[in-house]
Structure 1
Amino acid sequence: MTRIALITGANRGLGRATALALGRKNVRVVVSSRDGATDVAEEIVAAGGEALPLRLDVAEPASIGTGCEALLATIRREWNADSVDILVNNAGVGLFAPLGALTVEDFDTTFAVNVRGPLLLTQALLPHLADGARVVNVSSSLSRHSSPATSVYAASKKALEAITRSLALELGPRGVRVNSIAPGPTATDFNGGAMRDDEAMRDVLSQQTALGRVGHPEEIADAIVALVSDELRWVTGERLEASGGVLM
């Protein structure tokens, strides 16, 4: 049976790469973002896969509710299905500032997107997650090591990892596996594209990484594909770091 995946923040970066990678594995992919990620869905279809776009803003609880209703209506109509086999909670925001410049709005936005959003979306989909489904929460290597001006972001990712372990225990009786993946510095447009476009920053990060370079989004996507595969069917509640060995 063909599996169905929902990926949040699928319009760019790690989400887009993961959607494309799963599409190549003959997974039916629902690509979601605040704008719908229509171009990514079209790219998957053009490559011979199956994909549908979905408008979903994980920072807004109301959007999560309406988005899940639209998701279910769409997969019933298009694919005669009523459950999701793979959920990748990828949508995230990074607002970086030193302690003296942090604002309440920075904190609230970061936790709304990075913590509350994945939790409420997983909750909303709970009745529609297939038994044996796989959930992947996208964390960060910053939950392990420290960098200046990242306190709130790192805390949000550490919280997401704690949620991951709790949900793995709670959903285990249904065979649902819940894991987190922690990318290291990756060449995307995250944080203004600094790790992709700033050569000086790339050089510094490369020197701090065991494999000697910044990662590519496709490498994180491949790790997510592996994490939801049957080959790792006995893995749950774990944190898989895909960072090339940054700051070991």
Structure 2
Amino acid sequence: MLNLIGIGFIWASSQLQPGDSLENRPKVVEFDKSIIGSYQADDDYDYFKYTEEESAWTKLQNWLNLQWSKFLDWVFSGVSEGNFWNYLALTLKILLILGLGVLIFWLFNKYYVVRQKSPPADQSQINLSEEERLIQKKDLSTLIEDAESEGDYRLASRYLFLNILKYLKTHHFIDYQFQKTNADYKSEITQQDIKSEFTFASRFYEFVWYGDFKLEVSDFKSAKTRFENLIDKIQKTRVHG
């Protein structure tokens, strides 16, 4: 053992070069400080990058993309296996999706049509150009008779109501303007008995025309009598008023 230690010491001593000393210090290397800035500006040497938080819109997009991927996986699951039952399931899924799409379209179309035919109470507005033209230029009595003879009591009721507006305008009970509503005309009538009858006439017209209700002959005859009596009252009130 001692022989080995001695041999190792002799070998190590032989490796020392002249001038070597344990007290020697390594030479300090000075870096060129002028190039430090260029390294700091290089993103490749930036090891402290921070990830910005995703916006709400980005999160929503990612969520939608995830749901869409899940949906496609559900629809086409098992198709790659080439099994008959998997293809049958795929066909049923497609039919289900198409059926739901048709149902949604039908419900939307029905809801939209109902909204078009059902304006709010006392806010039904005159059909601008057509009704203005009818009131000013057409012989409404002839139109009423023609519609009644054809059994179109809904259209006849429309002409009857327009005839009332025409007489109210002619005898200066209302200031007729096509953008006004029936509620506006009602507020302009000062005679209470005429205002009361006009309220009935406007409500009847709104239910029949905008509500698209089926009108029986007896109901039309009764309303026609009240409409004609209102026109007589308008004429007499202006003459004797």
Query: Do they fold alike, i.e. is TM over 0.5?
Result: no
TM-score (norm. length: structure 1): 0.20
Larger CA Rg, structure 1 vs 2: 2
- Greater helix proportion: 2
